Amino acid sequence: MRSIRRTPDRDIVLVCLAVGATAVSYGAISVASGLPFWFPVVMGTLVLAGSSEFLFVGIVGAGGSPVAAVLAGLLVNSRHLPYGLALPDVLGGGWRRWLGVHIMNDESVVFALTRKDPARSYWECGIGVLLCWPLGALLGAALGSAVSDPNDFGLDAMFPAVILALILPQLRDAKARRPALLGAVIALVCVPLLPVGLPLLASLGALAVVPFLDRTTVEQGQA
């Protein structure tokens, strides 16, 4: 892991700071929903999955069953399955693989797939989020209801804005652009129909058309 001791990528630092800022609202919302002070910090450290944690707090805060909240969170986090399949070489082996799986998130995966040094970028971002997310949740819990709704400050827009900025260069490639646009359409259609987090999961269905698009492109080239 010697490579991660070098100066971190500036984009990774900014993403981790954005994660920490969003975690402040998560901690505040958790406390405002009646959960104990320590809950968002423990969840932020052991679960380390922002969307599923927000979903859990929202369901429990609205009077829903904790079991249903856990199942919904697991469903949202099932998107990590294709992530893991895409990054076996980055995760390494032994204890590093276990730690690498724990710090797997949308941001670290995006950096791993878009940077020249995937392993370094993955670990830098993953460990940065591991530090910033629980610390932000602790600060938010301490502030209590001072940041009761991320929409009031636009904190909820940080994640999609950051991810969009990271993937825009990759969209110059038509092979990546077509499934990405299809996934965006699927997510938008599902937003009014599905609970928070599930439209993102549904958008992964766009990956199913990638082999078809590749075959069509080859056939057109041969014609």
pLDDT of 163-191, one tens digit each?
676 677 777 777 778 788 888 888 899 88
What pLDDT is recorded for position 134? Answer: 95
Q: Are residues 138 and 212 in the same domain?
A: no
What pLDDT is recorded for position 33? Answer: 80
What pLDDT is recorded for position 6? Answer: 62
What pLDDT is recorded for position 22? Answer: 85
Bigger pLDDT: 149 vs 104: 104
Long-range contact pairs involving 9-13 (C-beta distance under 8 Å, separation at least 24): 9/111, 9/115, 9/121, 9/124, 11/111, 11/166, 12/111, 12/121, 12/124, 12/125, 12/128, 13/128
What pLDDT is recorded for position 156? Answer: 56
Smallest CA-to-CA distance from 141 within 19, 33, 2 is with 33
Locate 122 and state its tokens: 């993955």
What pLDDT is recorded for position 1? Answer: 47
Q: Are 87 and 122 in contact (CB under 8 A)?
A: yes
Q: Are residues 140 and 155 in the same domain?
A: yes
User: Of the given ranges (11-15, 168-172, 188-192, 217-221), which has the lowest mean pLDDT?
Assistant: 217-221
Domain count, the chain: 2
What pLDDT is recorded for position 129? Answer: 94
Bigger pLDDT: 135 vs 4: 135
Q: Are residues 160 and 64 in the same domain?
A: yes
Q: Are residues 13 and 40 in the same domain?
A: yes
Domain range for 188:
173-223
Q: Are residues 140 and 209 in the same domain?
A: no
Judge if pTM exceeds 0.85: no
- Cβ neighbours of residue 210 closer than 8 Å, sequence gap 6 or more: 179
User: CA 74, 78, 80 angle in degrees (round to 5)?
Assistant: 125
Q: What is the DSSP string of 15-71?
A: HHHHHHHHHHHHHHHHHHTT--TTHHHHHHHHT--HHHHHHHHHHHHTT--HHHHHH
Q: Are residues 116 and 6 in the same domain?
A: yes
For residue 110, the tally of other CB atoms under 10 A from its CB is 21
Cα–Cα distance between 201 and 149 in angstroms, integer?
24
For residue 158, the tally of other CB atoms under 10 A from its CB is 19
Helix and strand element counts for the chain (H, E): 13, 0
pLDDT over threshold 90, residue 45: yes
Q: Are residues 88 and 150 in the same domain?
A: yes
Q: Are residues 142 and 182 in the same domain?
A: no
